[in-house]
């Protein structure tokens, strides 16, 4: 069961140096869908960001992937922003040997994608509803993920909205940390030219990233997201790249 218990509970071993820190129950399975897990960290009312530990550092107590999937597999992959689950469902159907975690901030889409996973009995795939950046930073163990997928995220096009974009340096640092050693892949796709250009600039100046295919990659294993199918019919340009993270 995904829950964090109080320090007085002997069933939970406390992280180093946090014997005075009270844990919270921040992972909750959806009442109706075992395929959906809600990540609900306790937030600071002023910053709306997860509370820090008493020494003002991120509250790091990484989970085991078996807590999410109920099984152990050689490979774990994460999709950032699964939307209606178009890619997630088809990819999971092709890869029963991989534990696959989709993610969505919006509960409506997370539940919709989770319903599709459950309909197809894809128990090796789950949907995480919540802020995936803080999930990666505070709850995912280093060297534990095999690949990332990020297709057609909200571009947040207005200047005042740019801070909401996930594709930023601190996000890539967390991706690099949680990826396993070796040359690991990150699949990127968008229809938004400016967002793609800004991301490509970021990739180019990030020393641990090598762009294997820039802008013209084919859909991963031929699988298109719901957005991509719609955009291609509309004739929009599609920018797909394959990145390699070297550790």
Question: Which amino acids are annotated catalytic?
Answer: 154
Distance CA 208, CA 139 (A): 22
Phi, psi of 79 (to 5 degrees): -105, 125
Cβ neighbours of residue 153 closer than 8 Å, sequence gap 6 or more? 80, 81, 165, 166, 167, 190, 195
What DSSP letter does each residue of 169-215 carry, written as one string?
HHHHHHHHHHBPSSEEEEEEEES-HHHHHHHHHHHHT-TTEEEEE-S
Q: What residue has token string 């964090």?
A: 4
Distance CA 74, CA 115 (A): 26
Distance CA 113, CA 225 (A): 12
What tokens were used for 200? 């490509």
What tokens were used for 81? 């922003």
């Amino acid at each position: 069961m995904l829950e964090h218990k109080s320090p007085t509970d002997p069933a939970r071993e406390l992280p180093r140096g946090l014997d005075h820190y009270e844990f919270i129950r921040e992972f909750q399975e959806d009442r109706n869908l075992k395929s959906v897990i809600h990540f609900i960290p306790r937030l600071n009312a002023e910053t709306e960001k997860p509370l820090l530990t008493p020494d003002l550092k991120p509250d790091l107590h990484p989970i085991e992937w078996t807590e999410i999937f109920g099984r152990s597999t050689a490979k774990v992959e994460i999709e950032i922003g699964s939307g209606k689950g178009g890619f997630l469902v088809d990819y999971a159907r092709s890869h029963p040997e991989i534990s696959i975690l989709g993610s969505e901030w919006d509960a409506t889409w997370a539940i919709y994608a989770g319903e599709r996973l459950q309909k197809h009995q894809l128990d090796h795939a789950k949907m995480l509803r919540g802020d995936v950046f803080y999930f990666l930073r505070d709850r995912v163990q280093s060297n534990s993920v095999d690949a990332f997928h990020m297709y057609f995220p909200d571009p947040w096009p207005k200047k005042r909205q740019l801070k909401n974009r996930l594709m930023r340096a601190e996000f890539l640092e967390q991706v690099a940390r949680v990826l396993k050693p070796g040359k690991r892949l990150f699949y990127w796709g968008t229809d938004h030219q400016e967002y793609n250009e800004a991301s490509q600039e970021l990739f180019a100046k990030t020393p641990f990233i090598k762009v294997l295919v820039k802008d013209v990659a084919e859909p991963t294993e031929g699988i298109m997201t719901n957005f991509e199918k719609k955009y291609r019919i509309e004739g929009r340009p599609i920018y797909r790249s394959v990145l390699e993270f070297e550790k």
